[in-house]
Chains A and B, each alone.
Chain A
Amino acid sequence: MPVVTIHEREVHLDEEGFLTDPSEWDEQLAHELAANIGLELSPRHLEVIAFARADAAEHGETPTLRRMTAVGGFPTKELFQLFPKKPAKKLSYVAGLQKPVGCV
Protein backbone atom coordinates (compact mmCIF):
# COMPACT_ATOMS: atom_id res chain seq x y z
CA MET A 1 0.00 0.00 0.00
CA PRO A 2 1.71 3.22 -1.15
CA VAL A 3 2.30 6.03 1.29
CA VAL A 4 2.98 9.33 -0.42
CA THR A 5 3.86 12.73 0.93
CA ILE A 6 1.68 15.59 -0.15
CA HIS A 7 2.47 19.00 1.33
CA GLU A 8 4.76 17.44 3.92
CA ARG A 9 1.94 15.22 5.03
CA GLU A 10 1.76 11.47 4.66
CA VAL A 11 -1.27 10.14 2.83
CA HIS A 12 -2.18 6.46 2.59
CA LEU A 13 -3.45 5.18 -0.75
CA ASP A 14 -4.62 1.79 -1.99
CA GLU A 15 -3.05 0.24 -5.07
CA GLU A 16 -5.33 2.12 -7.43
CA GLY A 17 -4.72 5.47 -5.76
CA PHE A 18 -7.83 5.87 -3.59
CA LEU A 19 -7.28 7.21 -0.07
CA THR A 20 -7.66 4.51 2.56
CA ASP A 21 -8.18 6.89 5.47
CA PRO A 22 -10.77 9.62 4.82
CA SER A 23 -9.46 11.64 7.76
CA GLU A 24 -6.27 12.37 5.81
CA TRP A 25 -8.34 14.34 3.31
CA ASP A 26 -8.78 18.10 3.14
CA GLU A 27 -10.08 20.48 0.53
CA GLN A 28 -6.63 21.33 -0.78
CA LEU A 29 -5.96 17.65 -1.35
CA ALA A 30 -9.30 17.37 -3.16
CA HIS A 31 -8.18 20.01 -5.64
CA GLU A 32 -4.96 18.12 -6.29
CA LEU A 33 -6.68 14.74 -6.66
CA ALA A 34 -9.16 16.37 -9.05
CA ALA A 35 -6.33 17.83 -11.12
CA ASN A 36 -4.82 14.31 -11.35
CA ILE A 37 -7.89 13.16 -13.26
CA GLY A 38 -8.42 16.33 -15.28
CA LEU A 39 -11.14 17.94 -13.17
CA GLU A 40 -11.31 21.45 -11.83
CA LEU A 41 -13.48 21.68 -8.72
CA SER A 42 -16.29 24.22 -8.57
CA PRO A 43 -18.22 25.15 -5.40
CA ARG A 44 -20.91 22.69 -6.57
CA HIS A 45 -18.36 19.87 -6.76
CA LEU A 46 -17.38 20.67 -3.18
CA GLU A 47 -21.04 20.55 -2.12
CA VAL A 48 -21.40 17.08 -3.64
CA ILE A 49 -18.14 15.95 -2.04
CA ALA A 50 -19.20 17.31 1.36
CA PHE A 51 -22.42 15.30 1.26
CA ALA A 52 -20.64 12.12 0.13
CA ARG A 53 -18.11 12.45 2.96
CA ALA A 54 -20.74 13.17 5.59
CA ASP A 55 -22.88 10.26 4.42
CA ALA A 56 -19.90 7.90 4.34
CA ALA A 57 -18.88 8.98 7.84
CA GLU A 58 -22.38 8.35 9.11
CA HIS A 59 -23.00 5.00 7.41
CA GLY A 60 -19.50 3.62 7.14
CA GLU A 61 -19.74 3.13 3.39
CA THR A 62 -19.35 5.33 0.34
CA PRO A 63 -22.75 6.36 -1.06
CA THR A 64 -23.71 4.90 -4.45
CA LEU A 65 -24.86 7.15 -7.26
CA ARG A 66 -28.47 6.32 -6.53
CA ARG A 67 -28.00 7.30 -2.91
CA MET A 68 -26.41 10.58 -3.96
CA THR A 69 -29.59 11.29 -5.91
CA ALA A 70 -32.22 9.76 -3.63
CA VAL A 71 -30.82 10.97 -0.30
CA GLY A 72 -28.44 13.77 -1.29
CA GLY A 73 -30.86 15.31 -3.77
CA PHE A 74 -28.24 15.76 -6.52
CA PRO A 75 -29.81 14.98 -9.92
CA THR A 76 -28.18 12.02 -11.72
CA LYS A 77 -27.64 14.12 -14.83
CA GLU A 78 -25.78 16.77 -12.89
CA LEU A 79 -23.51 14.18 -11.25
CA PHE A 80 -22.59 12.92 -14.72
CA GLN A 81 -21.79 16.49 -15.74
CA LEU A 82 -19.66 17.21 -12.68
CA PHE A 83 -17.82 13.88 -12.74
CA PRO A 84 -18.02 12.73 -16.36
CA LYS A 85 -18.43 9.08 -17.37
CA LYS A 86 -17.73 7.39 -14.04
CA PRO A 87 -19.31 9.71 -11.49
CA ALA A 88 -19.37 7.38 -8.48
CA LYS A 89 -15.72 6.37 -8.78
CA LYS A 90 -14.41 9.83 -9.63
CA LEU A 91 -16.38 11.36 -6.79
CA SER A 92 -15.02 8.76 -4.34
CA TYR A 93 -11.47 9.39 -5.49
CA VAL A 94 -11.66 13.17 -5.14
CA ALA A 95 -13.57 12.92 -1.85
CA GLY A 96 -10.91 10.69 -0.32
CA LEU A 97 -13.29 7.73 -0.02
CA GLN A 98 -13.16 4.13 -1.16
CA LYS A 99 -15.16 3.08 -4.22
CA PRO A 100 -18.83 2.33 -3.42
CA VAL A 101 -19.54 -1.38 -2.91
CA GLY A 102 -23.32 -1.34 -3.43
CA CYS A 103 -24.82 -2.57 -6.72
CA VAL A 104 -27.46 0.14 -7.01
Chain B
Amino acid sequence: MTASDAMTAPIPSFDDDEEDGGRKLVMICSKGSLDMAYPGLVLANAALGEGIETHLFFTFWGFDIINKKTMAALKFTPVGNPATHMPQMLMGLPGMTSFATHMMKKQMDGLGVPDVPEFLDLIHGAGGHLWACRMSADMMHLEEDDLYDGVEAIISASDFMEISAGAQTIFI
Protein backbone atom coordinates (compact mmCIF):
# COMPACT_ATOMS: atom_id res chain seq x y z
CA MET B 1 0.00 0.00 0.00
CA THR B 2 1.45 3.38 -0.91
CA ALA B 3 1.61 6.19 1.59
CA SER B 4 -1.33 8.05 0.10
CA ASP B 5 -3.50 4.92 0.13
CA ALA B 6 -2.60 4.24 3.73
CA MET B 7 -3.93 7.66 4.62
CA THR B 8 -7.29 7.02 3.05
CA ALA B 9 -7.80 3.38 4.01
CA PRO B 10 -9.36 3.07 7.47
CA ILE B 11 -7.67 0.56 9.77
CA PRO B 12 -9.59 -0.95 12.69
CA SER B 13 -7.90 0.10 15.94
CA PHE B 14 -8.54 -3.12 17.94
CA ASP B 15 -7.61 -0.99 21.00
CA ASP B 16 -4.19 -2.59 21.07
CA ASP B 17 -2.68 0.52 22.62
CA GLU B 18 -4.71 0.08 25.81
CA GLU B 19 -2.35 -2.63 27.03
CA ASP B 20 -3.08 -3.86 30.53
CA GLY B 21 -4.83 -0.69 31.57
CA GLY B 22 -7.78 -1.98 29.57
CA ARG B 23 -11.07 -3.39 30.70
CA LYS B 24 -11.47 -6.05 33.38
CA LEU B 25 -14.66 -8.02 33.93
CA VAL B 26 -15.71 -10.17 36.88
CA MET B 27 -18.83 -12.31 36.95
CA ILE B 28 -20.20 -13.89 40.09
CA CYS B 29 -22.08 -17.06 39.11
CA SER B 30 -24.41 -17.96 41.96
CA LYS B 31 -27.08 -20.07 40.24
CA GLY B 32 -26.93 -23.72 39.28
CA SER B 33 -29.72 -24.09 36.78
CA LEU B 34 -28.94 -24.55 33.10
CA ASP B 35 -30.59 -21.31 31.99
CA MET B 36 -28.71 -19.31 34.63
CA ALA B 37 -25.35 -20.90 33.85
CA TYR B 38 -25.33 -19.74 30.25
CA PRO B 39 -25.39 -15.93 30.66
CA GLY B 40 -22.08 -15.94 32.57
CA LEU B 41 -20.47 -18.40 30.18
CA VAL B 42 -21.60 -16.61 27.02
CA LEU B 43 -20.53 -13.18 28.28
CA ALA B 44 -17.19 -14.48 29.58
CA ASN B 45 -16.43 -16.07 26.24
CA ALA B 46 -17.38 -12.89 24.39
CA ALA B 47 -15.32 -10.72 26.74
CA LEU B 48 -12.25 -12.90 26.26
CA GLY B 49 -12.66 -12.69 22.49
CA GLU B 50 -12.49 -8.91 22.86
CA GLY B 51 -9.24 -9.06 24.79
CA ILE B 52 -10.89 -8.23 28.12
CA GLU B 53 -9.36 -9.72 31.29
CA THR B 54 -12.13 -11.99 32.58
CA HIS B 55 -12.74 -13.73 35.90
CA LEU B 56 -15.61 -16.01 36.89
CA PHE B 57 -16.29 -16.56 40.59
CA PHE B 58 -18.53 -19.51 41.38
CA THR B 59 -20.48 -19.42 44.62
CA PHE B 60 -23.43 -21.20 46.24
CA TRP B 61 -25.57 -22.98 43.64
CA GLY B 62 -23.19 -21.76 40.95
CA PHE B 63 -20.88 -24.50 42.18
CA ASP B 64 -22.90 -26.97 40.14
CA ILE B 65 -21.40 -25.35 37.01
CA ILE B 66 -17.85 -26.36 38.03
CA ASN B 67 -18.60 -29.48 40.08
CA LYS B 68 -17.35 -32.40 37.95
CA LYS B 69 -20.32 -34.49 39.10
CA THR B 70 -23.00 -31.99 38.07
CA MET B 71 -21.55 -29.71 35.37
CA ALA B 72 -22.70 -31.86 32.47
CA ALA B 73 -26.15 -32.41 33.97
CA LEU B 74 -27.52 -28.96 34.86
CA LYS B 75 -31.29 -28.72 34.67
CA PHE B 76 -33.84 -26.16 33.62
CA THR B 77 -37.18 -25.96 35.37
CA PRO B 78 -40.17 -24.03 34.10
CA VAL B 79 -41.65 -23.92 37.63
CA GLY B 80 -42.23 -20.36 38.72
CA ASN B 81 -41.01 -18.98 35.43
CA PRO B 82 -43.84 -17.07 33.69
CA ALA B 83 -41.58 -16.38 30.69
CA THR B 84 -42.08 -19.96 29.49
CA HIS B 85 -45.69 -18.90 28.72
CA MET B 86 -46.98 -22.28 29.85
CA PRO B 87 -49.75 -22.98 32.39
CA GLN B 88 -47.92 -22.88 35.73
CA MET B 89 -50.12 -25.58 37.30
CA LEU B 90 -48.75 -28.17 34.88
CA MET B 91 -45.10 -27.17 35.16
CA GLY B 92 -44.58 -28.95 38.46
CA LEU B 93 -45.79 -32.33 37.17
CA PRO B 94 -43.32 -35.22 37.39
CA GLY B 95 -40.97 -35.37 34.42
CA MET B 96 -41.55 -31.78 33.43
CA THR B 97 -38.04 -30.62 34.46
CA SER B 98 -36.38 -33.40 32.46
CA PHE B 99 -38.55 -32.62 29.48
CA ALA B 100 -37.88 -28.86 29.66
CA THR B 101 -34.16 -29.49 30.12
CA HIS B 102 -34.10 -31.79 27.13
CA MET B 103 -35.88 -29.20 25.00
CA MET B 104 -33.55 -26.41 26.06
CA LYS B 105 -30.44 -28.49 25.38
CA LYS B 106 -31.77 -29.38 21.96
CA GLN B 107 -32.38 -25.72 21.17
CA MET B 108 -28.91 -24.72 22.35
CA ASP B 109 -27.35 -27.48 20.31
CA GLY B 110 -29.27 -26.34 17.25
CA LEU B 111 -27.81 -22.86 17.70
CA GLY B 112 -24.30 -24.28 17.91
CA VAL B 113 -23.96 -23.35 21.58
CA PRO B 114 -21.61 -25.74 23.39
CA ASP B 115 -22.63 -27.64 26.52
CA VAL B 116 -21.34 -26.48 29.90
CA PRO B 117 -18.11 -28.55 30.14
CA GLU B 118 -17.10 -27.59 26.59
CA PHE B 119 -17.89 -23.95 27.35
CA LEU B 120 -15.57 -24.11 30.37
CA ASP B 121 -12.84 -25.58 28.14
CA LEU B 122 -13.37 -22.73 25.71
CA ILE B 123 -13.14 -20.07 28.42
CA HIS B 124 -10.16 -21.72 30.08
CA GLY B 125 -8.40 -22.06 26.70
CA ALA B 126 -9.01 -18.39 25.97
CA GLY B 127 -7.25 -17.38 29.19
CA GLY B 128 -10.30 -16.84 31.42
CA HIS B 129 -9.79 -17.17 35.17
CA LEU B 130 -12.07 -19.51 37.13
CA TRP B 131 -12.35 -19.22 40.91
CA ALA B 132 -14.39 -21.16 43.48
CA CYS B 133 -15.84 -19.80 46.72
CA ARG B 134 -14.31 -21.08 49.98
CA MET B 135 -17.49 -21.00 52.03
CA SER B 136 -19.53 -22.84 49.39
CA ALA B 137 -16.81 -25.48 49.07
CA ASP B 138 -16.86 -26.02 52.84
CA MET B 139 -20.66 -26.12 52.91
CA MET B 140 -20.82 -28.73 50.18
CA HIS B 141 -17.75 -30.66 51.37
CA LEU B 142 -15.96 -30.20 48.07
CA GLU B 143 -12.24 -29.86 47.37
CA GLU B 144 -10.27 -28.72 44.33
CA ASP B 145 -10.14 -32.28 43.01
CA ASP B 146 -13.94 -32.33 42.84
CA LEU B 147 -13.97 -29.24 40.62
CA TYR B 148 -13.36 -28.64 36.93
CA ASP B 149 -9.61 -28.84 36.30
CA GLY B 150 -9.38 -25.28 34.98
CA VAL B 151 -10.49 -23.81 38.33
CA GLU B 152 -7.41 -21.99 39.61
CA ALA B 153 -8.16 -22.09 43.33
CA ILE B 154 -10.76 -22.08 46.05
CA ILE B 155 -10.58 -18.57 47.44
CA SER B 156 -12.06 -16.54 50.29
CA ALA B 157 -14.33 -13.53 50.04
CA SER B 158 -11.35 -11.27 50.81
CA ASP B 159 -9.28 -12.88 48.06
CA PHE B 160 -12.18 -12.18 45.74
CA MET B 161 -12.04 -8.50 46.72
CA GLU B 162 -8.41 -8.35 45.63
CA ILE B 163 -9.10 -10.11 42.35
CA SER B 164 -12.08 -7.92 41.52
CA ALA B 165 -10.32 -4.63 42.33
CA GLY B 166 -10.97 -2.14 39.55
CA ALA B 167 -13.18 -4.56 37.60
CA GLN B 168 -16.69 -4.24 36.29
CA THR B 169 -18.59 -6.80 38.36
CA ILE B 170 -21.76 -8.60 37.33
CA PHE B 171 -23.81 -10.75 39.69
CA ILE B 172 -25.73 -13.60 38.10
Contacts and interface: CB of A to CB of B under 8 A. Distances in A.
Q: Do A and B bind each other?
A: yes
Interface of A: 2, 4-6, 11, 13, 15-18, 32, 36-38, 65-67, 69-70, 75-77, 80, 84-90, 93, 102-104
A29 to B, nearest CB: 9
A37 B10 CA distance: 11
Interface in B50-66: 50-51
B46 interface: yes
Contact of B50 (A17, A77, A86, A104): A86
Given A37-B16, A76-B126, A103 B42 contact: yes
Given A32-B1, A66-B114, A2 B122 contact: no
Interface residues of B, number: 25
Nearest to B52: A85
Interface of B: 1, 5-6, 8-12, 14-16, 42, 45-46, 49-51, 111-114, 122, 125-127
B122 A37 contact: no
Nearest to B6: A36
B10 A16 contact: yes
Residue of A4, A16, A85, A86 with highest tally of chain B CB at under 10 A: A85
Given A37-B16, A104-B45, A4 B11 contact: no
B16 A85 contact: yes
Contacts of B9: 2, 4, 6, 11, 13, 17, 36
B10 A15 contact: yes
Contacts of A90: 14
Contact of B49 (A6, A87, A93): A87
A103 B16 CA distance: 22
11 contacts: A11-B9, A13-B10, A18-B12, A36-B6, A37-B12, A76-B125, A80-B127, A86-B51, A89-B49, A93-B12, A104-B46
Nearest to A76: B125
A16 to B, nearest CB: 5
Contact of A16 (B12, B49, B112, B125): B12
Contacts of A17: 9-12
A17 B62 CA distance: 41
B8 A4 contact: yes
Contacts of A38: 16
Contacts of B8: 2, 4
B14 A37 contact: yes
